[in-house]
Amino acid sequence: MLSEFVKTADWKSEKHVPLIECADSVKAGDFFEITVSVGKEIPHPNTTEHFIAWIALHYVPEGSNMSIELARCEFSAHGASAAGANQGPAFTDSKVCVNAKLLKSGKLYATEFCNIHGLWSSEKVITVK
C-alpha cells in the first residue's frame, strides 16, 4: 500500500510535516478557516530543484471509514526560467487556506508531497457542536 511510504513526525522538528491550524471546536454548519502549511517552524526551501508540489486536506467524519477531500492545492512556481534555475520572477510558498463547514466531529488529515523527500502527513481532531 502507498500508505507505507507516508511519513510523519513532529512538525516543530521536521520541516516536511504539514501543520493544520484551525479552531479545535467549531459550530455545525458554520464556515471556519483551516490553514495548512509546510515549514512554519523550520522553513522548507521552495526552489526549482527542491519544492513542495502540493498539499491535500481530507476530513473523516466520526464513524466513517471514508475520507472526504476538502481541498487540494498545487504549487507550480519555483523560480524556473529560461535564464536558469531559480532565476524566474515567481516562487510559491507551501501554505494554503481553506474555508469549510462540517456537520460532524471527526479528523482532518493534511498530506503534502516534496519532490525530493516524498509524502508526509499529519492529523488534527476537530470537534463539531
Interaction site with Fe ion (CB under 5 A): 114, 116-117
CB of 6 to Fe ion, least distance (A): 14
| C-alpha span between 39 and 53 (Å, rounded) | 13
Query: Strand pairing partners for 91?
Result: 78
Least distance (Å) between residue 44 CB and Fe ion: 6
Catalytic residue among 104, 117, 123, 124: 117
Give yes or no: 27 in active site.
no
**Nearer to Fe ion by C-beta: 20 or 114?**
114
d(CA 69, CA 62): 15
Which residue, 29, 103, 113, is CA-closest to 68? 103
Q: Which of 7, 12, 14, 33 is catalytic?
A: 14
Question: Whole-number minimum distance, CB 95 to Fe ion, in Å?
Answer: 15
Q: What are phi and psi for residue 5, nearest 5 degrees?
A: -105, 10
Q: What residues are annotated to the active site?
A: 14-16, 44, 50, 114, 117
